[in-house]
Structure 1
Amino acid sequence: DVYKTARVLSGMVDIVMIRTFGHEKVERFAACSTVPVINGLTDYNHPCQLLADMQTFIEHRGSIRGKTVAWIGDGGNMCNTYLEAACQFDFQLRVAIPPGYEPNAGLLERAAGRVVLLRDPCAAAKGADLVATDVWTSMGKEEERQQRLQDFAAYQVNAQVMAHARPDALFLHCLPAHRGEEVSADVIDSPQSQVWDEAENRLHVQKALIEFLLLQNSYN
């Protein structure tokens, strides 16, 4: 029972992070909790990872406001989160994705003025300041792996795709990556790739998030 669990934990801890499949479980828990609740990842979105991605871009290139971001690959939780981020951080987003794997329709509608849906990864990457991707087969969808390998075969982020981006474009991936699938080895190991800083920044942004949530009254 989510209500009982939320109430009991609220009396034992100062903050809760939940990583689960169903987004509604996190929302229900947060509604019942009397302490802050962090979404550690759901099938719907992954805001903690997005914070790390934004921190990484800012560290290396400055503000992302007004920049162009290319998302290439699956329209799952990370793609959904980039749709939210395009509105939150004021950047243009191009999503290259095969038919049938589009991101959340409601998020697409809300981000309509900032997102373009494409089928060509090179077109999405053209002039981009940041190129990002994720695995083609997420946790819980392993039975779809073979079909997804076929459907996403043309959506690998490789040197040809990155050649269409700006010369100083960054490449990001939330990891772990499947080299030779969603990203080629020469891209993830290139100077443009900042995946290791991105991974490290998960620690730093989540520490900052916890501090903000626990001390938010002192910030007001």
Structure 2
Amino acid sequence: MMEMKDFITTQDWQKSKLDKLLEIAEDMKKNPLKYKNSLDGKSICMFFYNPSTRTRNSTQVAAYQLGMHPTFNSIKDSWIGYQSESIKDTSVVLARYYDAIGIRIFPNAVNYIYKEGNRILREFARWSDVPIVNFEDDQYHPLQALTDIFTIKEKKHQVEGKKIVISWAYHPKPLPYSVPNSILLMSTRYGMDVTLAHPEHYDLDDDIINVAKKNTKDSGGSFQISNNIKDAYSDADVVYIKSWGAKKHYGDAKKEKKLRLPYRDNWRIKAEYLDYTRPDSLFMHCLPIRRNVVADDDAIDGSHSVVYDQAENRLYTVKALLYELLKE
């Protein structure tokens, strides 16, 4: 078993361990039969407080290909969802049935108390004897970040020194910070030249920004923040778009809406914005995406877009993680 029992944020893991996961994922994609049924007889509990498409399905298929038995559990079908059982009791018992437990818990499941979802995952980890895998909480989405850096490496062959723009995009609703937090932390650890682009009032968590700055110092990359799309996108190798909410009105969508409405047109990502980037730049989004609201069809389906390859790679990265956590 690895030095880290759990996978709650990539920041908890040594970079050499993340590198190893990426190497395994690459090999699994090229040589799937090599790993067939390599975790035969093992099982994973997939515990969801919130909906999922890519995380749920990629994990189920990955587990099946490894010979595992994945079991889907909805919070509404479990006693903990009715406040009738503690996290401790739930975690201890599930850990006696399963070899790993994956949990997804969004901000709405914890009444928009920022970091409460992450705290719950860490409490599960405290009581569990088996690995806890973060399927996305209110602060981090490590499986997505692992896939994102894997996809960039796959397309660009190296990531160090490449310019990535992590760009806010308009969405009718305030979305969680988990994806932007996670790609910011991951890209700064991998020596990329990172530009975080967003309108005023849409700053990310100060703690995350400070860790990103430290990552940059350690990795030899760079980090800057811009409120101007043209300046930010200029000569970018990667444009990663994602919406998130304003800290000022976290949990209050009605008040927050007044802040975001003025950006509805200019921060809807258009194909012409990608003209500012390098000719071979990548356009990325974690999906799901509201077409012609968050970004235009011409951007999503254009020559720069790798969103479907990025989504496909969720299979190989979660498969690599399960293998590395659970192999004998």
Say yes or no: TM over 0.5.
yes
Deviation for aligned residue 1:141:
7.3
Identity %: 30
Partner Cα separation in structure 1 for residue 145 and residue 252 of structure 2: 22
| Corresponding position of 1:189 | 301
| Corresponding position of 1:156 | 268
Residue aligned with 2:196, SS: strand
Partner Cα separation in structure 1 for residue 105 and residue 135 of structure 2: 8
Report whether the alignment pairs 1:121 with 2:229: yes
Partner Cα separation in structure 2 for residue 146 and residue 99 of structure 1: 14
Structure 2 stretches lacking a partner, 5+ long = 1-85, 107-116, 170-175, 217-221, 246-250
Letter of the aligned partner of 1:182 in structure 2?
A: V
Q: 1:98 to 1:15 in 2, by over 3 A?
A: same
Q: What's the CA shift string for 1:103-127, capped at 9, x where partnerless?
A: 1111111222432111112211111
Letter of the aligned partner of 1:131 in structure 2?
A: V
Structure 1 stretches lacking a partner, 5+ long = none
Letter of the aligned partner of 1:150 in structure 2?
A: P
Q: 1:145 to 1:196 in 2, by over 3 A?
A: farther
Q: 1:200 to 1:72 in 2, by over 3 A?
A: same
Larger radius of gyration: 2
Which consecutive segments of 4 or more residues in structure 1 shift more than 6 A?
Answer: none
Count of aligned positions: 215
Conserved in 2, the CA contact under 8 Å of 1:135 and 1:178? no
Give the counterpart of 1:88 among 183, 186, 189: 189
Q: 1:184 to 1:136 in 2, by over 3 A?
A: farther
Partner Cα separation in structure 1 for residue 309 and residue 255 of structure 2: 31
Q: What's the CA shift string for 1:59-89, capped at 9, x where partnerless?
A: 2221212211001116822111122112321
Residue aligned with 1:42, SS: coil
Q: CA RMSD in A?
A: 2.2
Residue aligned with 1:155, SS: coil
Partner Cα separation in structure 2 for residue 152 and residue 212 of structure 1: 43
Instruction: Please report the TM-score for the alignment, with normalisation by the length of structure 1.
Output: 0.89
Q: 1:210 to 1:189 in 2, by over 3 A?
A: same
